[in-house]
Structure 1
Amino acid sequence: MNFALILFIALVVTGLIWLADHLFFKPGRAQGQKEPLLVEYSRSFFPVILIVFLLRSFLVEPFRIPSGSMVPTLQAGDFILVNKYTWGIRLPVINRKIIDISQPERGDVVVFRYPVDPSLDYIKRIVGLPGDRVSYIDKQLSINGQPVKMDFLRPYDYVKPGLNNVVAQLFLEHLGHHPHQVLIQPDEPPVRLEGVRVFRYRDHCDYNERGFTCVVPPGHYFAMGDNRDDSTDSRYWGFVPDENIVGRAFLIWMNFDDFGRIGKSIE
């Protein structure tokens, strides 16, 4: 569901009704005559919709985390805020950048429109920038030939939906300016080859049983989930075009199952 488009349509409709009444119908109404209910609702809702539309389009936008692909950084059920202006100003609805401020960095947690189906929003961590050579061999992430430092923290077991117990290991990964925790399941392969799609610039990648190496094309990014062995990400469906970027996730503002997560920044 394209909520931005729905908001825009509601904004236009209520605004036109209010404007048409103000210009053409209100002057002809008898003094003291009550305005039509449709006009009253449009006049009341237009400013509210306008404020929500502007805030959501240019400042911050709320999202809900639906899955565990970003565990332990984000949990299913987290409600997060996404900064819409960090990297530039984009026109709402069409999401076209008109003012360029900066670019995503390695390690940023980013919401973007899923390249396979742009009507869906995904959230992952940017690990590769345009031109980077990204390798993930034997569960070791390397950027341009340099292994990304990983410090083992402790075992980390958790229960997935369906009461499936997952045995994993928790690491601190030092990627760019964003040290963050990642989960590794030692018994899982670095990439499930049967799940790799045919995607644009697929010829920029080499896959084998030990992992993959990809060269990120211009204007694109390589994204992976922090729950490395339970994330469908760029390994499987390819690169994220810059025009698909929605914004940078920066805050958890609600989780109804764990109030202790409220107010946590997203690193």
Structure 2
Amino acid sequence: MFKKKKEKAKREKKSALTVLREYIESFGIALILALIIKCSVVEAYKIPSGSMEDTLLIGDFLLANKFIYGAKIPLLPVHLPAFREPKPGDIVIFKYPRNPKVNYIKRCVAVEGQTVQIINKVLYVDGERFPDLPFSKYTDQRTRSPGRDPRDNFGPYKVPKGHLFMMGDNRDNSADSRYWGSLPRELVLGKAMIIHWSWSPDPNAPIITRKDLLSVPKNIGYNILHFPTRVRWNRLLNIIR
């Protein structure tokens, strides 16, 4: 009798360990799959600045297609073959050349071998005017003189091999290739795909600080109260072009 109880307890213990092991294995597989998807297929990004207005606004949350330009395999210094290379007109997420820990998003306006020139704010690529897209804008009517600032008069500049020339759609308020040079192809992360969420900034929202323990519930309460008006409903699920 005692022997049977002992064997039963042993089986139950083994069964519990088996269940625990299965949970751990399932969690591990899910974690690996999530890592692969994040690193190789799709990744979420938030727009922190106005350099791409009015195409992308501060508070837009977007998904990027990392597969199209050749995704990086997690934990290995290897990239999958690209379906195609970035081309003029693509909105691209990339590592900032001067600080690769920071991600930038700009529009590609020229690729290797093409010549970029800006004359009095007008962008030319290979001698032809680059089309201003519906949401691109200029906010400063003044034109800065050549040599003083590359914003309004730049080049001609031939994009080196293996590089891209990037510009923000908010042409007068964008730190881009006019200032920090062309973008090495290996720093490209993905192509902007879709806006999955858009949250309008509110200067009146309570700021979360360590000194004020009530700042967190105040912020949460404020955002819940103003949720319907802060969400940019008309931007949700917009395809990025």
Give the TM-score category using the shorter length.
0.7 to 0.9
Aligned residue number for residue 265 of structure 1: 239
- Whole-angstrom CA distance in 2 between matches of 1:128 and 1:141: 11
Q: Within 5 Å, which residues of 2 pair with 1:215-234?
A: 215-234=158-177
1:223 aligned partner, one-letter code: M
| Greater than 6 Å deviation, 4+ residue runs | 38-41, 191-195
Alignment counterpart, residue 185 of structure 1, candidates 139, 158, 163: 139
2:69 is the alignment partner of 1:53: no
**Contact 2:117-2:157 within 8 A present in 1 as well:** yes
Post-superposition Cα deviations, 1:20-53, rounded to whole Å, max 9, x if no partner, equal xxxxxxxxxx5333449x9687435312212211
| Structure 2: segments with no counterpart, 5+ residues | 1-9, 201-231
In structure 1, which of residues 246, 252, 255 is the aligned counterpart of residue 198 of structure 2?
255
- C-alpha distance in structure 2 between counterparts of 1:227 and 1:208, whole Å: 11
Deviation by residue 1:185-225 (Cα, 9 ceiling, x = unmatched): 24344689677xxxxxxxxxxx6973332210000000000
3-state SS, counterpart of residue 100 of structure 1: coil
Corresponding residue of 1:31: 11
Q: Is the 8 A contact 2:113 2:161 kept in 1?
A: yes
Contact 2:154 2:178 in 1 (8 A): no
Q: Distance in 2 between matches of 1:54 and 1:110?
A: 20
Cα offsets for 1:54-95 (capped at 9, x unmatched)? 221222111111111000000011010101111234323566
| Residues 110-149 of structure 1 deviation map (CA, whole Å, 9 limit, x = unaligned) | 0011111111111000001001100111000000111224
Structure 2 counterpart of 1:84: 66
Q: How far apart, in 2, do the equivalents of 1:242 and 1:54 lie?
A: 22
| Residue ranges of structure 1 left out of the alignment (5+ in a row) | 1-29, 150-172, 174-178, 196-206
Pick the aligned partner of 2:184 from 212, 234, 241: 241
Question: For residue 31 of structure 1, what is the amino acid of its counterpart?
Answer: R
Q: Which amino acid aligns with 2:194?
A: L
Following superposition, the deviation at residue 184 of structure 1 comes to 0.8
Counterpart for residue 202 of structure 1: none
Which has the larger displacement, 227-236 or 97-106? Answer: 97-106
Show the counterpart of 1:164: none
CA contact (8 A) 1:188 1:229 kept: no
Backbone CA RMSD of aligned residues: 2.9
1:228, distance to aligned residue in structure 2 (A): 0.5
Question: In the alignment, what sits opposite 1:147?
Answer: 129
Structure 1 residue 238: Cα displacement: 1.1
Which is strand-richer, 1 or 2? 1
Kindly provide the amino acid, as one letter, of the partner of residue 232 in structure 1.
Answer: A
Q: Counterpart amino acid of 2:189? A: V
CA separation of 1:208/1:40 partners in 2, compared to 1, >3 Å: closer, same or farther? closer
